[in-house]
Amino acid sequence: MNTDPGAFIITADESDAGQRLDYVIASHLIQCSRTQAANLIRNGFIRLDNLVVKPAYRVRSGEKIQGRIPPSEPVDIIPEPIELDILYKDNHFIVINKPAGRVVHPAPGHETGTLVHGLLYHFPDLFCVGGRLRPGIVHRLDKDTSGCLVVALNDWAHQEISGLFKTRTVYKEYLALVHGIVTDNIGRIDRPIGRHPVDRKKMTVNGRHARSAQTNWRIVRRFPSATLIRLYLKTGRTHQIRVHLNALGHPVVGDRVYGPRRKVGPLEVSPGNRVRVPRQMLHARYLGFVHPASGKKVIFEAPIPKDMTEIIDALSSHLQPEASSFLHSR
């Protein structure tokens, strides 16, 4: 029996076919980035059907990727007394209402002040869960996206909840304010997402080696210059909602990466009346899944943040009073 916690075996499926080996590994192993995977391949820690190949090798369906991720070198992450808005806590996981502006884990340019620094201050045992750079982290939210984020408190819960995300059995509902008036009441965006061919920091529906991505949406309220919509994710690609809404022709209000530059700035709520938009108006409102210990379905709600409600209220003030009633119901 293999007791090496870093060992893994991945059997490539049809969705992996044609993708780079380092990309496939990173997409299957949440604790392993693409850069890390490439380095491990070059150093012989990862092989394909027991053969040494290059990180750029194009994987075929049915091939077995075998390897191990060696223990991380000690990382100097100093816990910081960052306040956490905890929506739920038990012995296995917590659900946090992540504020906009907070990066989830350390990365170049964000070596301090991340959510992980705060988690390690309040939960010191997390140092041993899921990797030194991303302790307890099961999934991520963009820096300027607020809302529900689950954090595992032990290795068993980390593995179980990560499996739920991988099998797409997690309910993820977002609230977004987008530019323009969306005419349909309900819809589905089914367009693959891949890395932008020129700007490596961006994703696009026209990227090479794109992977399937599905976003369902429903109108909440239309305003003269914007539309409030609910979004239900079937997949969880990087920047999925922002990329899909931009492809739909209705980028998220305040999105400085995917929104047209001319639309970044104050939002017009009525002729001559504008409000400041401090960040992208995207909020992970609900998160639901089967509790790994009890087997019962659980769902968590993150209240809509003040900066978002203020803009919605400003837009609603020029409509009927019932326009903002959705804020208090699901």
Helix (H, G, I), strand (E, B) or coil at 47: strand
Token reading at 89: 């806590």
Residue 227 C-alpha from the chain's centroid: 22
Please name which of 162, 156, 132 lies closest in space to residue 36, comparing C-alpha atoms.
132
Pairwise CA distance, residues 326 & 181, whole Å:
18
Q: Which residues are paired to 89 by β-bridges? A: 94
How distant, in Å, are the alpha carbons of 1, 17, 130, 261, 279 from that of 255?
49, 33, 31, 9, 7
Pairwise CA distance, residues 23 & 125, whole Å:
30
The catalytic residues are 142
Helix (H, G, I), strand (E, B) or coil at 182: coil
